[in-house]
């Protein structure tokens, strides 16, 4: 059996491991195993590639494996859960950069063996250009998303007149460079210009997107990094890279669609820079009034008498690392015969599945995590809605105030519960920078302070 056949058979086996691992990622109970299986598939594929006689610099591959393992181990241990969205954005970006480099290397190899009688095939040139274009766009777009998520730069959308026209002109210029480059691949000045424009386009693509839309952005950039990897796979003729890139691209696109529905935006609106568009309607943005603060001791009496409680977590829970305190309170309430469930909004937090991961870390049973569409019809029947660090995903302005930037966005109707407790450090607006009229509702009580500390006080009150 030839070396090429062995390599391709192992690639097929690795692809099967990828698909199986991806399937296991669909449940918190099996997600860790799925991640390990997928990682094992990639490691096997990298090792078997060393059998290819075209590989001559084994030491660089070994060095890459060691460095990658070290970076991954340090990131897994050192990066807090609150930093996971930024880490995912960086991974997307460096995935795009890797595709750009692979495409460029493939072009250099193709040009080195081409001559006048056998020029570089058109298919190779197109796939190389696609990998470079999408890889560059993903890299700078992800870096900007990282900056917004980490609040190193403002998370507010940056918009100006003619923005879409300028973005369109940049894209047309990139396509013009592609045509000129394909006509004469030996003149790489057009390729250099295209790379520069792709990097600029990535920044321009993410610049008008606000912080509240970051989960959609992460999902979309993840999909683009997969598309870039698949294009690079076509450029170098690597089956496994094509399969892996296609899986990432397709799953990211599906997730993007889910996020779009959760934000009440169409995929077409997302792809054509429709983020952050605010409907101009006259009228008040928020309902004004007085807030009603409450102490943990007073909240205890209401919880002690409740028959049902819905817990609505948000990014504030992640910041306070309060998921274990939430689980402790849940256990006490259930011991008192209280029905306790969790309402999870698809874009709660700053990346898809953020709250699910946090609660799984605290061993909260997965069957208690209800999606927004499951819990909203029941919210009027709950005695208490306990909102922990969530803001935009429970904002009733999305239903009631047409001038609100989030009007029409599906939200968890926390205000319809008999009593609402909001655990919040202050009256500051959420990541989207939008005021929340929920805080002024008659049935809302504000528990000001650190979420972990306040939940601890509630637990102590039951002792």
| The pLDDT value given to residue 25 | 82
pLDDT at residue 276 in the model:
44
Least confidently predicted of 53-62, 308-317, 330-339: 53-62
Going from N- to C-terminal start, the domains of the chain cover: 1-78, 82-271, 296-461
Three-state secondary structure call for residue 441? coil
Helix (H, G, I), strand (E, B) or coil at 51: coil
Check: CB of residue 129 under 8 Å from CB of residue 178: yes
Statement: residue 144 has pLDDT above 80: yes
Report which of residues 53 and 194 the model is more confident about.
Answer: 194
pLDDT tens, position by position, 423-443: 987 766 655 567 788 888 889
Q: Is the pLDDT of residue 340 over 50?
A: yes
Rounded Cα–Cα distance for residues 18 and 40 (Å): 9
- pLDDT single digits (tens) 246-255: 988 988 888 8
Residue 232 to residue 101: CA distance in whole angstroms: 9
CB atoms within 10 A of CB 315: 24
Q: Residue 386: what pLDDT? A: 95
| pLDDT of 210 strictly over 80 | no
Kindly state the average pLDDT of the residues 214-224: 83
Model pLDDT, residue 431: 55
State the pLDDT at residue 65: 80
Average pLDDT rounded to a whole number, residues 390-414: 84
Look at residue 282 and tell me whether its pLDDT is greater than 80. no
Question: Residue 27: what pLDDT?
Answer: 74
- Cα gap 155→400, rounded to integer Å: 25
pLDDT given for residue 56 in this prediction: 62
CATH architecture type of domain 296-461: 3-Layer(aba) Sandwich (3.40)
Average pLDDT, the chain: 83
The per-residue pLDDT for range 35-50, each reduced to its tens digit, is 899 989 988 888 887 7
Mean pLDDT of the 109-119 span:
71
Q: How confident is the model at residue 279 (pLDDT cuts 50, 70, 90)?
A: very low
Q: Is the pLDDT of residue 379 over 90?
A: yes
- Whether residue 274 is predicted with pLDDT greater than 60 in this model: the reply is no
Answer for the pair 201, 174: CB distance below 8 angstroms, yes or no.
Answer: yes
Reported pTM: 0.76
d(CA 316, CA 426): 11
> What's the burial of 191, exposed, middle or buried (CB within 10 Å: 0-12/13-18/19+)?
buried
Residue from 341, 338, 354, 339 nearest 390 by CA = 354
d(CA 193, CA 215): 31
Q: pLDDT band for position 55 (50/70/90)?
A: low
pLDDT in tens, 442-455: 899 999 888 899 99
The pLDDT-based confidence of 212 (bands split at 50, 70, 90) is low
Residue 358 CA, distance from chain mean position = 15
The rounded distance, in Å, linking the Cα atoms of 186 and 114 is 10
Judge whether residue 380 has pLDDT over 50: yes
Lowest mean pLDDT among 64-73, 107-116, 216-225, 253-262: 107-116
Average pLDDT on 238-246 reads 88
Q: Which two tokens stand for residue 402?
A: 């047409």
117 pLDDT band (50/70/90 cuts)?
low
Q: Provide the 8-state DSSP code for 309.
A: E
User: Region 353-381: what's the mean pLDDT?
Assistant: 88
For position 280, what pLDDT does the model report? 41
283, pLDDT greater than 60: no
- Annotated active-site residue 392? The verdict is yes
Q: Where are the alpha helices (DSSP H) in 349-443?
A: 354-361, 372-375, 397-400
Which of these is catalytic: 184, 298, 373, 392? 392
Q: What is the pLDDT of residue 53?
A: 56
Least confident of 23-32, 122-131, 452-461: 23-32
Nearest 5°: phi and psi at 461?
A: -65, -25
How does 404-419 read in b/e, with b if 16+ C-beta sit within 10 Å?
Answer: bbbbebbbbbbbbbeb
pLDDT over 60 at 401, yes or no:
yes
- 179 forms beta bridges with none
CA atoms within 13 A on the CB side of 397: 22
pLDDT tens per residue across span 155-167: 676 777 777 788 8
CA distance 439 to 446: 7
CA contacts within 13 A on the Cβ side of 55: 15
φ and ψ at residue 370, rounded to 5 degrees: -100, 140
């Amino acid at each position: 059996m030839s070396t090429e056949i062995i390599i391709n058979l192992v690639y097929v086996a690795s692809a099967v491991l990828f698909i199986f691992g991806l399937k296991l990622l669909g449940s918190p109970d099996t997600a860790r195993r799925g991640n390990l299986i997928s990682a094992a598939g990639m490691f096997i594929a990298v090792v078997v590639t060393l059998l290819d006689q075209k590989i001559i610099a084994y030491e660089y591959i070994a060095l890459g494996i060691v460095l990658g393992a070290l970076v991954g181990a340090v990131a897994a241990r050192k990066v807090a859960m609150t930093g996971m969205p930024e880490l995912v954005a960086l991974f997307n970006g460096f995935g795009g950069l890797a595709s750009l480099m692979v495409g460029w290397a493939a072009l250099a190899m193709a040009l080195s063996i081409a001559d006048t009688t056998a020029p570089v095939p058109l298919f190779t040139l197109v796939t190389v250009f696609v990998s470079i274009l999408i890889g560059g766009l993903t890299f700078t777009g992800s870096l900007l998303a990282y900056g917004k998520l980490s609040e190193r730069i403002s998370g507010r959308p940056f918009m100006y007149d003619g923005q879409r026209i300028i973005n369109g002109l940049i894209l047309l210029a990139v396509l013009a460079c592609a045509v000129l480059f394909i006509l004469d691949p030996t003149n790489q000045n057009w390729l250099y210009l295209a790379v520069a424009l792709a990097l600029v386009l990535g920044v321009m693509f993410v610049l008008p997107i606000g912080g509240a839309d970051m989960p959609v952005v992460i999902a979309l950039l993840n999909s683009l990094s997969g598309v870039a990897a698949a294009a690079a796979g076509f450029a170098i003729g690597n089956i496994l890279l094509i399969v892996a890139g296609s899986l990432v691209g397709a799953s990211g696109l599906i997730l993007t669609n889910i996020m779009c529905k959760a934000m009440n935006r169409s995929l077409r609106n997302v792809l054509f820079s429709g983020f952050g568009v605010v409907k101009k309607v006259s009228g008040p943005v928020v309902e004004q009034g007085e807030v009603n603060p409450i102490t943990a001791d007073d909240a205890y009496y209401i919880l002690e008498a409740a028959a049902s409680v819905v817990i609505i977590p948000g990014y504030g829970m992640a910041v306070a690392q309060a998921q274990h305190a939430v689980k402790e309170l849940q256990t006490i309430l259930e011991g008192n015969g209280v029905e306790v469930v969790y309402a999870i909004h698809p874009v709660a937090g700053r990346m898809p599945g953020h709250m699910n991961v946090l609660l799984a870390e605290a061993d909260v049973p997965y069957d208690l995590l209800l999606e927004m569409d499951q819990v909203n019809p029941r919210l009027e029947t709950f005695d208490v809605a306990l909102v922990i660090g969530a803001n935009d995903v429970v904002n009733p302005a999305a239903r009631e105030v047409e001038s609100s930037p989030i009007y029409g966005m599906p939200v968890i109707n926390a205000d319809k519960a008999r009593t609402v407790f909001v655990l919040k450090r202050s009256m500051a607006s959420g990541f989207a920078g939008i005021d929340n009229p929920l805080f002024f509702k008659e049935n809302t009580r504000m528990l000001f302070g650190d979420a972990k500390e306040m939940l601890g006080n509630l637990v102590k009150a039951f002792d």
